Structure 1
Amino acid sequence: MRHPLHPALVHFPVACWSLGTAADLAGLHWGAPAWRPGGLLLAAGTLAALPAMLAGFYELTRLADDSPATRDVYRHLSVALAATALYATALLLRWRGGALSAPDALGITLDLAGFAALVATGWLGGHLVYGHRLGGEAAAAPPSTPRE
């Protein structure tokens, strides 16, 4: 593939988890009409994270052993795994009797910690793309203009 798949796939868990966190927080005020979709969004985000992570692992295999980005790639990977674990744990805590229940204080805390990790891994991913220029072909040099 000429274009990496990972950047295209991460939008789905990012959107679902972000909206799920917002819905759970809104549920503190509006109750079930807000937190019910929040639980479904956390589930969708957790499922969508799987192909995004697989694509990220594939991109990792294409990284040169001596790449200056290696340290930041592993930071991005670690924080992304932490976000996934936090959101998956929050989701599992809500699964009771075959249905999703309202988040408790621990669930809201896990949502917020997951969101913080999501922001951090997104920033690191942006740094990999824009700082280290990973994920695309090297930019072509601009055409030179003759001097007169």
Structure 2
Amino acid sequence: MDQAKHPVTALAGPYGHPLHPALVAVPIGAWIASFIFDLASHFVRGPQFLTQGSRWLIGIGVLGALTAAMVGFLDLFAIPTGTRTHRTALVHMSINLVVTAAYAANFVVRGSPAAGGPVGWGPLALSAASLAALAVAGYLGGELAYRYGVRVADETIQAAGYHTPTPYRETADKENV
């Protein structure tokens, strides 16, 4: 278990501070925002700015996901094979790779935006399905960190954050007695 807590290389982030969870905020945020733009494009006049913005957000999300995946692979290498944690990590990774491929396809399918129309129902449905799969992958990522403690500092280090420091005044009073 201790092996999964330590990075295999400094590129994965230092002990107790993995980079992968921080990097996933980019694709998650970009893809959620792109979905909101997609929906909004059906409710405004002249939605081209939203359809273009959505496509840009999808592209940013794909690039961010690829970056997060590279660092995530480093975390995967630290997990002992044949364990439940490793199987969970493989499913987490597989779903995320499918989601990233779906968004890359969605980016290509959209091409250049139509002449001022809203996002088509096909790309909108693909984004919704991709977000649903992303939520499942995120749940599994939470299992890895919070249930199995992958790349999380051990309990003795965590316990240091729960000690109540003695206020300076009380310490000074005891020394003067």
Structure 2 unaligned spans of 5+: 1-13, 161-177
Work out whether 1:52 is the aligned partner of 2:81: no
Give yes or no for the alignment of 1:15 onto 2:25: no
Q: Taking structure 1 as the reference length, what is the TM-score of the superposition?
A: 0.86
Shift of 1:66: 4.2
- Length-normalised TM-score, structure 2: 0.73
1:126 aligns with 2:124: no
Q: Does structure 2 retain, via aligned residues, the 8 Å contact 1:26–1:35?
A: no
Question: Which amino acid is the alignment partner of residue 22 of structure 2?
Answer: A
Letter in 2 for 1:52: A
Which piece of structure 1 moves more, 64-73 or 80-89?
Answer: 64-73
- Which amino acid in structure 2 is aligned with residue 42 of structure 1? I
**In percent, how many aligned pairs have the same letter?**
30
Report the number of matched residues.
Answer: 140
Give the alignment's Cα RMSD to 1 decimal. 1.7
Separation in 2, partners of 1:103, 1:28: 7
- Asked which structure has the greater CA Rg, the reply is 2
Q: Residue 37 of structure 2 contacts residue 51 of structure 2 at CA under 8 Å; is this kept in 1?
A: yes
1:6 and 1:56 in contact (8 A); partners too = yes
Amino acid across the alignment from 1:24: D
Aligned residue in 2 for 1:27: 41
Shift of 1:100: 4.1
Would the aligned equivalents of 1:49 and 1:84 in 2 still touch at CA under 8 Å?
yes
User: Residue deviations 1:95-131, cap 9 Å, x none?
Assistant: 1xxx344532211111111111111111111111111
- Contact 1:89–1:110 (CA under 8 A) maintained in structure 2: no
Q: Which has the higher contact order (CA 8 A, sep 6+)?
A: 2
Shift of 1:45: 0.6
Contact conserved, 1:86 with 1:113, CA < 8 A, in 2? no
SS of equivalent residue, structure 1 residue 29: coil
User: Matches of 2:155 and 2:113 in 1, distance apart?
Assistant: 48
Structure 1 portions without partners, runs of 5+? 144-148
Q: Distance in 2 between matches of 1:142 and 1:110?
A: 44
